[in-house]
A and B are shown apart, each in its own frame.
Chain A
Amino acid sequence: MFEREDETVERVIQQLRRPVAIDPGLDARVMREIAQVPFPKRRARLLLPLLAVAAVLATVLIVARPWIWNSASKTDALQFVLVAPQAASVALVGDFNDWDPARAPMQTAHGVWATVVRLAPGRYRYAFLVNGVEWRADPSAPAAKDDEFGTPSSVVTVGGRGS
Chain B
Amino acid sequence: MILAALLLVTQVATQDPRLERLDPDTRATVVAVLDSARDVGLPVEPIIQRALEGTTKGASGARIVAAVRRLAVDLGTTRGALGTSASAPELEAAVAALRAGATPEVLAHLRDVRRPPLTIALSVLADLVASGVPADSAAAAVLALAPKARDADLVEFRRAIERDIALGAPPGAATSVRLNAGAFVNNSDVSHGNPPTRRSRP
Pairs A-B, 4 closest by C-beta atoms: A122-B89, A70-B87, A156-B202, A163-B151
> Given A145-B130, A161-B150, are A122 and B191 also a contact pair (CB < 8 Å)?
no
Contact between A74 and B53, CB atoms less than 8 A apart: no
A148 contacts partner chain B, Cβ-Cβ < 8 Å: yes
Interchain CB contact under 8 A, B119 and A160: yes
Count the B residues whose beta carbon is within 8 Å of the partner chain — how many?
Answer: 57
Q: Contact: A161 with B194, CB < 8 Å?
A: yes
Q: Inside 8 A of A142's CB, which chain B residues have their CB?
A: 126-127, 130-131, 158, 162, 202
Q: Give the shortest distance, in Å, between A71 (CB) and chain B (any CB).
A: 7
Nearest-CB distance from B148 to chain A (Å)?
A: 12
Report the count of interface residues on A (CB-CB < 8 A). 47
User: Which residues of A have CB within 8 Å of B198?
Assistant: 76-77
**Quick check: A162 and B123 within 8 Å, CB to CB?**
no
The answer to whether B195 touches A163 (Cβ under 8 A) is yes
A105 at the interface (CB under 8 A from B): no
Q: Which residues of A contact B201 (CB under 8 A)?
A: 78-79, 81, 140-141
| A10 at the binding interface (Cβ < 8 Å) | no
In contact, B123 and A157 (Cβ under 8 angstroms) = yes
Once A159-B151, A163-B155 are accepted as A-B contacts, the answer to whether A78 and B199 lie under 8 Å apart by CB is yes
